[in-house]
Amino acid sequence: MNLPDQPNFKTHFADLLRQAASTLIEPDALPRIEMARTKQASHGDYSCNIAMQLAKPLRKNPREIASLLIEAIPDSPLLEKVEVAGAGFINLFLTHAAKQTFLQYVLKKGKTFGTGHYGQGKKIQVEFVSANPTGPLHVGHGRGAALGASLANILAAAGFCVTREYYVNDAGRQMDILTLSAWLRYLELNGIHLPFPENAYQGDYVKVMAQLIQQAHAERYVHQADLLLDGLDENVTDEGINTDLQLDRMIANAKQILGEDYAYIHNFVLTEQLGDCRNDLMEFGVTFDTWFSEQSLFDNGFVAHAVKMLEERGFLYQQDGAAWFRSTKFGDEKDRVVQRENGQFTYFASDIAYHLNKFERGFEQVINIWGADHHGYIARVKGALQALEQDPNKLEIALVQFAVLYRDGKKAPMSTRSGEFVTLRELREEVGKDAARFFYVMRKSDQHLDFDLDLAKSESNENPVYYVQYAHARVCSVLAQWEEGDISMLADVNAELLTSPAELGLLQKIIDFPDIVEAAAKEFAPHLIAFYLRELASEFHSYYNSTRFLVPEESLQHARLSLIVAIQKVLQNGLNLLGVNAPEKM
């Protein structure tokens, strides 16, 4: 049988029904043909509800319409039979030959099986993680990283031209606080003990950075540190420093005392944290095409430019000395400040500039992966884009709910500022990269995630990661014991011998894979891949236990081997999309 290059049975059947429906109704009035995979084998392989949808416009009984459609359906070598069922479903059965022949395409496509053209080469950007470089990544960032990286892979597989981007918040107050924190620790190393503000960064990593500065430059950056507390309340040493005002005063003092050296320390801690973050993510299998600096938007005047554009279009007004953007015109709850009383731009201002910049770089679609705590932020960013005459629908925000760690059935404590949190690095060291990546995307992203550390760690049948990987290792093991051992022999195998329910079920499962990838891309839902892989592994394990592959009869042996090689490819490709290894031995 000769089939087109990348056969898609689902769309083929949809075409057949569309042709049949054109005998009953004007093509313009025809709704989209929904072709769904069935849950039960008795319902065939694919099912369509078009007859029910046409019941209203045609004013006829759905079952009657279904019968008429079936009579009008063109002949196809892929269609075994078609029947009416239930309230008017049209159930279609694929021929065994169609399923069996499909195996050849899988083996031929190999690593690229599962890819498609849904994205039509559109330029799409995925921005994710984008954590402030003020400390180590924690397990909350890990979920965004795993989700973003997997989604980017899936979009690329679905035919998009993907750019992965990390927005570096290297401007602004948090970086100043980190700089001050590091300098204070550095001063301590030089015997100068000033009160350490409660709202500065407490983590030990700050002390490590201070040590690095100390080792490289000795006491060079001590300067007149005793002036640091100037202008603060008299009795700070007794009560401690804990207000934003006091902290900002210390930062201002530090800038004055250090002069040009302030920039050195600022830059040093930034580079250090960013490098740490990059390594951490790399070891997590997460890489970026672009690290986009927020500071660069200020340096080249782009923030001022964007704000000016808002002003020119009449969306800005002055009140209480600040410049406000009329975001309420675009559905926001209240207007927002873009330039403060003291002349500084707000974070929102640079974010407007950043998103405008994204569109000006020519991305046809932009996806932001944000923590769910930022959901109130969506309206104002989209509003600003609209005000700047951009299409806000080109920006899509995927919200990620928090991940809560459980150890021994109890919540692991998490509190960012106090430095008491589980880092991504610790998580990786504890459960391993593969388990962490898989667990993070096992849930729909807009759902809370309960991350069971004990389960992720367990090297047993309880662990879904090993379950999928084990299926892959088993195939590899069989192939290793296959004496002829040449997979190319399987290219033109006679798959007609694959007729058991298990074999036909597995064939259908393989056929589904490209559709699953496309659905995952369409819905920003990597968890669909995880669930699919689990199901495929399950069917394989069952097959493995019931059927011997290395049988004496060569044609049957080759047929079965070709099937498990195809399964191996799908497992590899699927795990690869999720950033999980497919080990040959376990």
Least CB distance from residue 203 to RNA, whole Å? 17
Under rule CB under 7 A, residue 554 binds RNA: no
Using alpha carbons, select from 318, 331, 389 the residue that is nearest to residue 360.
389
* Residue among 227 and 245 whose Cβ is closer to RNA: 245
Of the candidate residues 463, 562, 568, 572, the single one contacting RNA (CB under 7 A): 463
Using alpha carbons, select from 9, 8, 57, 16 the residue that is nearest to residue 33.
16
Under rule CB under 7 A, residue 484 binds RNA: no
Tokens 């022949």 map to which residue? Answer: 101
Distance CA 169, CA 127 (A): 13
List the interface residues with RNA, window 28-57 (CB under 7 A): 34, 36-40, 42-44, 47, 49, 52-53, 55-56
Under rule CB under 7 A, residue 550 binds RNA: yes
Under rule CB under 7 A, residue 478 binds RNA: yes
Under rule CB under 7 A, residue 467 binds RNA: yes
| Helix ranges (DSSP H) in 259-370 | 261-283, 294-299, 302-312, 347-360
Under rule CB under 7 A, residue 172 binds RNA: yes
Under rule CB under 7 A, residue 416 binds RNA: no
Of the candidate residues 28, 460, 485, 552, the single one contacting RNA (CB under 7 A): 460
Under rule CB under 7 A, residue 413 binds RNA: no
Of the candidate residues 264, 444, 505, 581, the single one contacting RNA (CB under 7 A): 444
Q: Are strands 316-319 and 322-325 parallel, antiparallel or unpaired?
A: antiparallel
List the interface residues with RNA, window 302-321 (CB under 7 A): 319-321
Under rule CB under 7 A, residue 169 binds RNA: yes
Under rule CB under 7 A, residue 130 binds RNA: no
Using alpha carbons, select from 501, 471, 446 the residue that is nearest to residue 572.
471
Output DSSP code: residue 371: E
Of the candidate residues 3, 67, 72, 86, the single one contacting RNA (CB under 7 A): 86
Using alpha carbons, select from 499, 479, 477 the residue that is nearest to residue 488.
479
* Residue among 305 and 340 whose Cβ is closer to RNA: 340
Cβ density class 560-573: b for 16+ within 10 Å, e for less = bbbbbbbbbbbbbb
Under rule CB under 7 A, residue 189 binds RNA: no
Tokens 């050296």 map to which residue? Answer: 261
Under rule CB under 7 A, residue 541 binds RNA: yes
**Stretches 101-109, 205-213, 343-351, 421-429: which one binds RNA (CB under 7 A)?**
343-351
Least CB distance from residue 223 to RNA, whole Å? 26
Local structure of 394: helix, strand or coil:
helix
**Stretches 100-108, 196-204, 416-424, 452-460: which one binds RNA (CB under 7 A)?**
452-460
* Residue among 62 and 144 whose Cβ is closer to RNA: 62
CA atoms within 13 A on the CB side of 225: 18
Output DSSP code: residue 355: H
25, burial (CB in 10 Å: exposed 0-12, middle 13-18, buried 19+): middle
* Residue among 227 and 550 whose Cβ is closer to RNA: 550
Q: Are strands 89-94 and 290-293 parallel, antiparallel or unpaired?
A: unpaired
Least CB distance from residue 499 to RNA, whole Å? 17
Compute CA distances 59 → 53, 55, 241, 299, whole Å: 11, 5, 76, 66
Of the candidate residues 204, 219, 230, 373, the single one contacting RNA (CB under 7 A): 373
Under rule CB under 7 A, residue 8 binds RNA: no
